[in-house]
Structure 1
């Protein structure tokens, strides 16, 4: 919600300066998102008069001007504007000024061999409009030498506040002024509603969809002359980013922003019969004011005549029936549309507008007559014409609501003690009615005691969000200032606190700490992807009907796209080694899946004079991270089986999965597929992996504590075996076979060498395995070691392996 400081002060009588107003807005819950003063960027631009204008000697389309900018020394300026001429008064940028439209710093220069000092400016160059056909032409009596922004009234800060969805009253400047007045920053000026002496009956307007449009008020004005809106109105609209169109259209926009009351003006010459607020019908379409055609249906409220639909009720009018330059007779619509219907229609059509933003929150249902009268008065004063009587179809839902409230509830709920008389003043200044005594007398132990009274608070029609006494407390505390709410710790129960983390949360903590300890930096990404990113990893099951943006439309089926985007950002900032992980959720039709993802890119060792030779990451680096994180998550790492390629996101032949059996996939890892890496703008080796925490079998709970650590009494024995195996035999299968040869004595087996070359026949490879044997009560005898070795060779032989000589 944007407004200028002077606009605010038409409703608020205050001497407060801008910093005080901004501080108060934040304190009462109206967050200030930004403040911009157009005069600041126009400080170097002055009113100047062209004294002479001669043809440029080297260019037909350029002129050499002599310009008086008020310092007594005329300057020579080269100008290409077709309207430049002697006697013209315009806006001149002095040397050193910055052109707002492009950031160019003006300086003395030579254009086609002729010296030029400064620049005569167009409205587009000063960001005051779209006109770029010529330089600005001011009134001949404009004061030469004066700063243009001061003379044009542009020294007026524009304030942008963020209005929460419940504060429909603050979608108008008057509502914001009311809040500031309640906070003690001045007095709210009375609003003057003109009395309209209508001539003749009102227009034919009816309601057939009372659920979507409970009330439809209207009045005609005949004999109007549409033209440009007055300077004061167009200046305020332009200051907040609204483009002035014509007086009739600008009046409706101005009232919408000023008072939070959307209206619409129809050109009566385009209407065929009366206007009806009804439900849309199958096959009907409307060409809206934004130039797009929308199909309506029975779930939407429309405004139509006897032949066609002219308005998507409460959201956007139709192009055909809107006010034009030649419009002479108009119908002014001031209706109430239910917020729920507006929200459903807007989402279905993917159509947003300023009117929708207000009707969706809920406009004041008791302000229809007043809004119609104010609009009619402005039309008559600015465009002329003769108004009719008003037609009032339907009844707005403006029944008063009351809330029982006791002032001591403020302290009980919010922890802030506010005197009862101050609470009453705050509520009344916000428009609430307060009935009841501020204090009453009760007898305690036979003594009269003054206690806060009990009130009946009447909720104003513009506050549909206030429903009960906690809302009343919120209003009081908000105006007093949220910074006055004390920080009071919650009482702590005696004894040892119970653990609050779930087993799943404990697993995630361990995994997060392990990843960080291994040198990975945590990334936190959106849970949404673009459709293109989701398709790159197999596509997502869930597509949002109303996404934040098109780039955040699909619930992510993988953590990799977000991590790869983060990797690209780091690489673009000269990071030579990127190690990122994320712990989050993937989303499928079956539900959410807890997952850990990581990406390693660049070099294992960062460059530097004291570091070793840099090497790129490979699939085995990814596998090492996967195994470490699985161990931290409590997975039975010793029982994992390695399978072939992972999903299509990984490079074939340089990726794999770790499973507990053929179907229970716990993780996948490997080198990223080149196509996927290229899609995210990454070059070089990029490895990644995902651990599926939901697939890890949960450990059974035991009532006993974990047994104390007891180191083995005897030292372990290691034996190396080298086997010749066919190329088709996987190393993991051989290691598992060796480990299972004697489950009591063998505690570990690992591959430490792979050899292919001289001495190894074709179609075979040499795999060297280190076997760790752990004796129990006594050391192994020679016969026991030979028996274990024989069992190892026998187990390997089942896979076609022979002991290498």
Structure 2
């Protein structure tokens, strides 16, 4: 909703500044979104007189002008405008002025060897119009030295408010002025709207052709004919009002309806009476009917829409837009002025269905003031007579104006109960009466309050409290802390819910991006990942390729990774936390966390290691990081080679705390599974069943060791052991770590090799051992002794020998 400050003051007698008005509007709930103040933008532009304009010595199309700015000695300006001449008055900007039309700050310049100390401006450069042809040519009586914006009347700020749907009364400037007056910022100017005496009966009759249950669609309709009008341009002040809020003046009759729409929140419509054939009928549209509207488009109508028809068919779409066939133009001599009430829900439905957004629809779908329907028609008639002349007819009315009785029994204590504000009965009564409410006392503690006709949103006691509070000021509501509860609040989330939340954080921190995929997969994909049981098939799938409940999160993630690769994003890392379905029973539904990596990864023992395709160890790192974040003790965790059939048999492993306590799998996916998904590999993946993770013990059986930070430098040694091909690396790690538990702080595998130089049936496992001295620096002899103990333990417990 836009309006100018001067327009507001037509209805509000106030001495408040622009800043005070803007602050008050926001405070009382009419939030100001933007204020455009042309005077602030044009404050440095002044009126100047061209004393002399002579040709530029070095350019045919330029002139050198001596300009009297009213501030002292004449100023030299180089100007390229063809209309620059001696004796004219124009708009001058000195160096340092920001030119809005050019988006530059003007500086001193030398143009073709001649100094220029300012600029004579065009309308386009001041963003007043699109006129680039020459500089502004002012009349001879324009005062030299005066600020141009003030002299030209361009110092009228435009205020734009963000209107909430419950305030249809504020869709008019008069309603906004009424709110500001109630807030104590001035006095509302009220003017009586006198009825216009009809000179003859209206020759056009109006009927409502609705079924009884549809009478609410058009409860009231009023019409008046004005003969002998001369429809030309509207007065300059009205055109200026419309332009300032972004509307284009059309002609006097149309401009009147647009003006009243914004001034009084009363949409009206005008028909060219000579283009209307016969009488008017209000009815539902018929299927197949069309309307060529004022916006130049043709709309197909249906039975849900209300239209105004003559003998030719629909002439107007009720409450939304008129038809072009009966529109008023400069040839109009007889005009029908319409006022009406329409059903707000029907108007909103019609507008959305046809995609039409108009100022009339905006107001009708929020609810207009029914008591102003006739007054708006009288006001429009008077303006038409003032601007266009003519003779008015008597009114033709159809239906009745609704009489709503909305008295609310209101306890004065309700304001304090709901808001904490202690507002006296006298102050509350004054606020409500200023807003147009009627207040009748029903005792010391209660009153009967009736909302005005322009406030359809007032339905209960809380709405009245809201009106009082917004005028008193929401910032005056006391800050009251919630009462402190005794004891510690019980946990809200279950262990599984906490794990799901923490799992998302852990996997995101690993560089994976969360995906949300369908809980349904195709039959073929379900079978490729261990599902496809008849009990998990959907009776009525939404698509043929979404026929079964997913047995794993991996099909959806692999498919998403494949779609990314097909679009050129081959390096993907995705994760999901969600439900999987192993069988139709309740226990068959499990919560899992899974991730996939496809393409290049920088994983390696050193930052300088080249990027390589994601592999089983990348998936293992993700899975172990997840378990660590969830607080799962991994001391007894077993990593058993091999996994389900959809994992590569030689590049995967199962995570378990025993044969009957499997918690998940990791590794590279089997090529057969990738073929079923139509995705190129390799793809590394893991899946952890969060339900299967052991719950933390209520009382820890082991005390966390004291943190020790040594000042001594750790020592790292690498060992390459030959072990049986089927030996577990975890067994070797435990053996090495047990060689000296006091000094060995970390053991990790950095290489596994089979091939040339390694005997048949054996493999080489590279182990990095970190020694952390705590009392003194280790000597070479001590390090060698520990190394020998490591080799001995590895040979004793795993049959390992040092590789030569």
What TM-score comes out, normalization by structure 1 length?
Answer: 0.68
- For 1:475, the equivalent position in structure 2 comes to 467
Per-residue CA distance 1:495-521 (angstroms, 9 max, x = gap): 4423334556533553466468x5989
- For 1:238, the equivalent position in structure 2 comes to 243
- For 2:552, the equivalent position in structure 1 comes to none
- For 1:485, the equivalent position in structure 2 comes to 477
1:159-170 mapped onto 2 (5 Å cutoff): 159-170=159-170
Q: Which moved more, 1:623-632 or 1:392-401?
A: 623-632
- For 1:332, the equivalent position in structure 2 comes to 337
Shift of 1:389: 2.2
- For 2:395, the equivalent position in structure 1 comes to 390
In the aligned structure 2, how far is the partner of 1:598 from the partner of 1:90? 71
The answer to whether the Cα contact below 8 Å between 2:496 and 2:691 also exists between their aligned partners in 1 is no
1:31-42 mapped onto 2 (5 Å cutoff): 31-42=31-42
- For 1:194, the equivalent position in structure 2 comes to 194
Shift of 1:237: 2.9
- For 1:708, the equivalent position in structure 2 comes to 700
- Name the SS of the counterpart of 2:371 in structure 1: coil
* Closer, same or farther: CA 521–628 of 1 in aligned 2, 3 Å: closer
In the aligned structure 1, how far is the partner of 2:358 from the partner of 2:655? 53
The answer to whether the Cα contact below 8 Å between 2:249 and 2:255 also exists between their aligned partners in 1 is yes
In the aligned structure 2, how far is the partner of 1:524 from the partner of 1:132? 55
- For 1:284, the equivalent position in structure 2 comes to 289
- Name the SS of the counterpart of 1:91 in structure 2: strand
In the aligned structure 2, how far is the partner of 1:83 from the partner of 1:274? 57
In the aligned structure 2, how far is the partner of 1:24 from the partner of 1:367? 27
In the aligned structure 2, how far is the partner of 1:659 from the partner of 1:385? 94
- For 1:126, the equivalent position in structure 2 comes to 126
Structure 2 unaligned regions, length at least 5 = 517-540, 543-555, 565-571, 580-590, 670-682, 706-718, 733-746, 770-790
* Closer, same or farther: CA 476–601 of 1 in aligned 2, 3 Å: farther
Work out whether 1:507 is the aligned partner of 2:506. Answer: no
Per-residue CA distance 1:576-596 (angstroms, 9 max, x = gap): xxx99999999xxxxxx9999
1:307-346 mapped onto 2 (5 Å cutoff): 307-346=312-351
Shift of 1:41: 0.9
- For 1:742, the equivalent position in structure 2 comes to none
Shift of 1:200: 2.3
- For 1:537, the equivalent position in structure 2 comes to none
In the aligned structure 2, how far is the partner of 1:667 from the partner of 1:173? 68
In the aligned structure 2, how far is the partner of 1:356 from the partner of 1:30? 20
- For 1:183, the equivalent position in structure 2 comes to 183
- For 2:625, the equivalent position in structure 1 comes to 628
* Closer, same or farther: CA 422–466 of 1 in aligned 2, 3 Å: same
- Name the SS of the counterpart of 1:277 in structure 2: strand
1:462 to 447, 450, 454: 454
- For 1:207, the equivalent position in structure 2 comes to 208
1:219 to 214, 224, 228: 224
Q: Which moved more, 1:283-292 or 1:343-352?
A: 283-292
* Closer, same or farther: CA 221–487 of 1 in aligned 2, 3 Å: same
Shift of 1:10: 1.9
Work out whether 1:352 is the aligned partner of 2:357. Answer: yes
Shift of 1:88: 4.9
* Closer, same or farther: CA 690–22 of 1 in aligned 2, 3 Å: farther
1:629-778 mapped onto 2 (5 Å cutoff): 629=626, 632=629, 696-698=689-691, 706-710=698-702, 752-755=750-753, 758-759=756-757, 768=765
In the aligned structure 2, how far is the partner of 1:328 from the partner of 1:2? 32
Shift of 1:70: 3.7
The answer to whether the Cα contact below 8 Å between 1:198 and 1:389 also exists between their aligned partners in 2 is yes
- For 2:426, the equivalent position in structure 1 comes to 421
The answer to whether the Cα contact below 8 Å between 2:619 and 2:685 also exists between their aligned partners in 1 is no
Structure 1 unaligned regions, length at least 5 = 441-451, 526-540, 543-555, 565-578, 587-592, 606-610, 647-654, 671-687, 726-733, 740-748, 773-781, 793-803
- Name the SS of the counterpart of 2:404 in structure 1: coil
In the aligned structure 1, how far is the partner of 2:95 from the partner of 2:36? 24
* Closer, same or farther: CA 89–23 of 1 in aligned 2, 3 Å: same
- Name the SS of the counterpart of 2:365 in structure 1: helix
* Closer, same or farther: CA 722–35 of 1 in aligned 2, 3 Å: farther
Q: Which moved more, 1:622-631 or 1:276-285?
A: 622-631
In the aligned structure 1, how far is the partner of 2:245 from the partner of 2:148? 19
Shift of 1:367: 1.2
How many residue pairs get aligned? The number is 664
Per-residue CA distance 1:274-294 (angstroms, 9 max, x = gap): 443332333333344444443
Name the Cα RMSD after superposition. 5.5
Per-residue CA distance 1:691-732 (angstroms, 9 max, x = gap): 99xx95546998x9635233899xxxx99776779xxxxxxx
Shift of 1:114: 6.0
In the aligned structure 2, how far is the partner of 1:222 from the partner of 1:157? 38
In the aligned structure 1, how far is the partner of 2:199 from the partner of 2:287? 39
Work out whether 1:405 is the aligned partner of 2:410. Answer: yes
In the aligned structure 2, how far is the partner of 1:231 from the partner of 1:496? 72
In the aligned structure 2, how far is the partner of 1:750 from the partner of 1:249? 85
In the aligned structure 2, how far is the partner of 1:765 from the partner of 1:293? 83
Shift of 1:409: 1.5
Shift of 1:77: 4.9
The answer to whether the Cα contact below 8 Å between 2:619 and 2:667 also exists between their aligned partners in 1 is no
The answer to whether the Cα contact below 8 Å between 2:643 and 2:665 also exists between their aligned partners in 1 is no
* Closer, same or farther: CA 752–61 of 1 in aligned 2, 3 Å: same
Shift of 1:37: 1.1
Shift of 1:215: 2.1
Work out whether 1:23 is the aligned partner of 2:23. Answer: yes
- For 1:144, the equivalent position in structure 2 comes to 144
The answer to whether the Cα contact below 8 Å between 1:720 and 1:771 also exists between their aligned partners in 2 is no
In the aligned structure 2, how far is the partner of 1:409 from the partner of 1:766? 83
The answer to whether the Cα contact below 8 Å between 2:25 and 2:31 also exists between their aligned partners in 1 is yes
- Name the SS of the counterpart of 2:370 in structure 1: coil
- For 2:255, the equivalent position in structure 1 comes to 250
In the aligned structure 2, how far is the partner of 1:187 from the partner of 1:20? 15
Shift of 1:737: 12
Work out whether 1:91 is the aligned partner of 2:88. Answer: no
In the aligned structure 2, how far is the partner of 1:105 from the partner of 1:229? 38
Shift of 1:427: 0.9
Shift of 1:418: 0.9
- Name the SS of the counterpart of 1:367 in structure 2: helix
The answer to whether the Cα contact below 8 Å between 2:751 and 2:767 also exists between their aligned partners in 1 is no
Shift of 1:22: 2.5
- Name the SS of the counterpart of 2:143 in structure 1: coil
Shift of 1:34: 2.5
- For 1:372, the equivalent position in structure 2 comes to 377
In the aligned structure 2, how far is the partner of 1:488 from the partner of 1:755? 70
In the aligned structure 2, how far is the partner of 1:484 from the partner of 1:504? 45
In the aligned structure 2, how far is the partner of 1:80 from the partner of 1:204? 63
Larger radius of gyration: 2
* Closer, same or farther: CA 435–30 of 1 in aligned 2, 3 Å: same
In the aligned structure 1, how far is the partner of 2:599 from the partner of 2:118? 52
The answer to whether the Cα contact below 8 Å between 1:211 and 1:338 also exists between their aligned partners in 2 is yes
* Closer, same or farther: CA 251–43 of 1 in aligned 2, 3 Å: same
- Name the SS of the counterpart of 1:335 in structure 2: strand
* Closer, same or farther: CA 125–643 of 1 in aligned 2, 3 Å: farther
In the aligned structure 2, how far is the partner of 1:269 from the partner of 1:645? 81
Shift of 1:219: 2.2
- Name the SS of the counterpart of 1:361 in structure 2: coil
Shift of 1:430: 0.8
In the aligned structure 1, how far is the partner of 2:2 from the partner of 2:322? 23
